[in-house]
Chain A
Amino acid sequence: MNRLRLLAAFLAAGVAAQLCWAQDSGVTLIQDATILTVTKGTIEHGSILIKDGKIARVGKDIKAPSGATVIDAKGMYVMPGIIDCHSHIAVEGDVNEGSLAVSSMVGVGDVLNPEDIDIYRDLAGGVTVAHVLHGSANPIGGQNQLIKLRWGKSASELKFEGAPLSIKFALGENPKRSNFRPPPGFPQRYPESRMGVMDVIRQAFVDAREYKKTWDEYNRRVAAGEKNVIPPRRDLKLDPLVEVLEGKRWVHAHCYRADEMVQLILLAEEFGFHIHTLQHVLEGYRVADEIAAHGVGASTFSDWWAYKVEAYEAIPYNAAIMAKRGVIVSINSDDANEARHLNQEAAKTMKYGGLTEDEALRLVTINPAIQLGVEKRVGSIEQGKDADLVIFNHHPLSVYAVAQKVFIDGHLYFDRDKDLAQRAENAKERKALMEKEKKASEAEKKPGEGKAGAEKKPGAPAGKEEKPKEPTKPPQLDQVATGALD
């Protein structure tokens, strides 16, 4: 079985390996497209010149330099690569270290799986950057990792270089585990109320402050030239929280109910740190003014609701209300499937709340870039920015738009035509590998256990036996509890 799974992964990886580096002269001109720059309006019949992974020029009459790859995008639309502010793709195993109420010592960046097929699938939906978060099982969760969907590259090459560090917090039903009874063998865990959740966070920052003091004192003495000063004992749980206090690590807090959002913002101010985004923030519309006043970002769903009590008052107008009251808002996926049509999810805000096309597009481009601290690099089509671009065959805010080509750092990482062209060959290769696998396993079985081997395939024509479906990932604790992988 394991060998079959490996085989599947190998095949999937094969699709992309062929795609990535085919078209790499370093200089590419996309011409005659409708360019949705997001920050600088729309250019009809416009061109984008890509050089060394960056957008070199955007405009109307750009001539192709010699040697450039020219992509005729007549009738097509180009938008900045979609940025998913809340994702759980590319993670090996569980996204939750749920055994502790504070799990700040662990990080998603340590367990990236570059072969997760969901990277390719989301890429094919136009996503170029994903904020891969730790789960929401703890008031203070693990460290998150911002990635670019450089399918085919190694785990470390996925990482968005230079992005601010980040960490997950979580409030409400998930950290207090309302919808989840520990399975046999799993112990009960404090907290189980919203009071307890706030207490855990407050205590952690009291500890972090004390810890920081010991280091500050140590550093002061060393700087003053004192010799033989013994450094304080390192605490891997508190180190990231000190980074939060110092503004070096950004906080992204899972929350649903309006009151808990305000509680957290006030707590953060009490300790002198900042909440960068409220994630999910489904009741954000109730306290949009408070969120805006404190300069906190909000990253929400388009139209999810009613899967748990704290989502029962969720409304699809949430993003629009918050945006109109001055909050920087993004729409995220929290789900590998949802990520494939974030452009569509953003479009819904035009119907639910009357946002304009540009405002809707911002929700999945420049706004999440701002929320993640990478707006100088990505999120709009501007000269000097990373060439992370998606070519759609229709306006991306239409349900009929299908991503045709996706560039990251100027490289073509997804090409629908090539994907389609590749399929027959992949099927052939798959069949051949299956037969090889079958022969190998039959040979393995022969000494001694011939019967069991024969019993396996009664009359199934060679190479046609299908692999019984299996979930590619174990369901997460949260998923069981709430139907959503927060």
Chain B
Amino acid sequence: MQRAKQFDGKFVIAGLAALAMFAGFALASPAGAQEKPKAKPPAAGKTYAIRGLKITTLAGPVIEKGNIVMRDGRIVAVGADTPIPADAQVLDGAGLEAYPGMFDAVDQIGLEEIGAVAATVDARELGEFNPQLQAATAVHPASEHIPVTRAAGITEVMTAPASGFGGGGSVILGQASVINLDGWTLEQMLVRRSVAMVVNWPNFNTRTFDLATFSFKEKSFADAKKEYDKKVQELSDFFEQARHYQLAAAKGSAQNYTRDLKLEAMIPVLKGELPLLVLAERAREIRGAVEFCEKQKVKMILGSGGDSLKVADLLKSKNIPVILGPTMQLSQNEDDPYDKYFTLPSDLQKAGVRFAIASFDLQFVRRLPQQAGNAVAYGLSHDDGLKAVTLYPAQILGLDKDLGTLEAGKIANIMITNGDPLELRTEVKYLYINGRPVSTDNKHKSLYEKYSKRP
């Protein structure tokens, strides 16, 4: 048994290496950012239509009663008088409402199953710089989280390698991938393999938790700064190394340099084709990250960004968008307003900073509409609340040609609800992902049905 396992292990490792190499090649070509979404609906050629329902396209006025037609995975037409093709499989939407499926811009779907069981966690790696890692290589298409999450109306996510406990761990975490939440294989799920390079920006902290002694360690401001500066310098050095490698790769022939997958993976970033998603929370760190990205001439998206309001002018002037974390979270600073994260989306909106709202989670991805709903409760317009979890993430991640609204030509990811999708009691009645009807059944629903029937 042990031997067989080992053999399997080797086989798997070889397979992964092959995948990683493939990934490397894909990135070395300028394809990284331009790669065509590989929407391959299993039932190619099928036409589906939804008839007679309220349609919020988020690309124009609400259609009080209209039809949606989709074919080969894409939306073909949306409108009040859109004719329904004779060959279409039709859903009667009477009394229901259609919206673009929600897009969770950062989470760990498919990379983790049970947080406490290391064997099921593939979201974290060892080592400081891992740009060569790609979320898509470890997404488990049969994860129970996928049907559970999509039942809440979330049709696509950007799944991303994660930082360690308390924001520690690697600095360059790897590449995040956008997947549809349906498919028998990863390839069927994949929208785009490499969407952002995730950087866990160094913490500037005078008080850190030491797991070895299980206690807090205080250090002076000067020491904390020294440590922070050193980490940023190391990151700078790594970029510099990658730049040399890029030069060598561009000018030299293959014999002149040893191929390095880490450095190779950085080339699309250096070319400005692949944005950096920089996870930073505090104003000082955000400023540091902005300065760094400017110096390196790379595209930056701010992730998490709890203190982004404090640096709103800077973010606005540099046109840096923010993928915000949950609105339902507590500030680490006791004297921050109690509603800081609730009002943050609305505050950024007023300050002219582009933003989206994401879960940065696994079990709570399905709370995405609730996160957006709370932003609306605290001042964001309802339209922006919806867009913060549909169109805005698509725009920020450069996928708005394919996702985010209900428009002809886009991937047909649609949720059909019985009401306002941000409201707690609203149910998602039907789902279309990649142009196909997808069941809302999941582990939770089937356990519910089973135990409701217990005699």
Contact = CB atoms under 8 A, between A and B. Distances in A.
Interface string A104-141: 00000000000001101100100000000000000000
Given A12-B334, A317-B448, A347 B424 contact: yes
Interface string A439-460: 0000000000000100110000
Interface string A276-312: 0000000001101100000000000001111111011
A186 B367 contact: no
B45 interface: no
A64 interface: no
B330 A336 contact: yes
Contacts of A344: 370, 374, 424
Contact of A456 (B114, B144, B222, B451): B222
15 contacts: A8-B335, A289-B454, A305-B148, A305-B363, A306-B114, A311-B114, A317-B444, A317-B448, A336-B330, A337-B328, A350-B424, A399-B422, A399-B424, A466-B284, A468-B224
Interface stretch (A68-76, A364-372, A477-485): A477-485
Interface string A462-484: 00001111111011010011110
B423 A398 contact: yes
B378 A304 contact: no
Given A8-B333, A336-B330, A480-B165, A307 B116 contact: yes
A471 B328 contact: no
A471 to B, nearest CB: 6
A306 B332 contact: no
B145 interface: yes
B4 interface: no
A11 interface: yes
B116 A400 contact: no
B213 A337 contact: no
Contact of A124 (B114, B338, B376, B445): B338
Interface of B: 113-117, 144-145, 148, 165-166, 204-207, 209, 211-216, 218, 221-222, 224, 281-284, 310, 328-330, 332-335, 337-339, 362-364, 366-367, 369-370, 373-374, 376-378, 422-427, 443-445, 447-448, 451-452, 454
B207 A471 contact: yes
Nearest to B326: A337
A313 interface: yes
Contact of A309 (B117, B213, B426, B454): B117
Contacts of B218: 1
A289 B329 CA distance: 36
* A-B residue pairs, 3 tightest by C-beta: A399-B373, A308-B116, A317-B448
A426 interface: yes
Contacts of A288: 451, 454
A418 to B, nearest CB: 12
B114 A304 contact: no
A266 B7 CA distance: 48
B209 A474 contact: yes
A405 interface: no
Contacts of A430: 335
Nearest to B205: A468
Contacts of A179: 116
B283 A466 contact: yes
A475 B209 contact: yes
Contact of A286 (B338, B444, B451): B451
Given A308-B115, A308-B116, A184 B444 contact: no
Contacts of B338: 120-121, 124, 419
Given A402-B378, A482-B116, A469 B213 contact: no
Contacts of A419: 337-338
B334 A472 contact: yes
A160 B256 CA distance: 76
Contacts of A455: 222
A308 B370 contact: no
B328 A309 contact: no
Contacts of B165: 480
A337 B422 contact: no
A184 B213 CA distance: 7
Nearest to B452: A321
Contact of B330 (A121, A183, A466, A467): A121
B451 A321 contact: yes
B222 A452 contact: yes
A306 B362 contact: yes
A397 interface: yes
A470 B424 contact: no
A316 B218 CA distance: 41
A456 B184 CA distance: 57
B363 A307 contact: yes
Contacts of A340: 328
A308 B284 contact: no
Contacts of B447: 285, 313, 315, 317
Contacts of B454: 286, 288-289
A474 B216 CA distance: 7
Contact of A468 (B144, B284, B427): B284
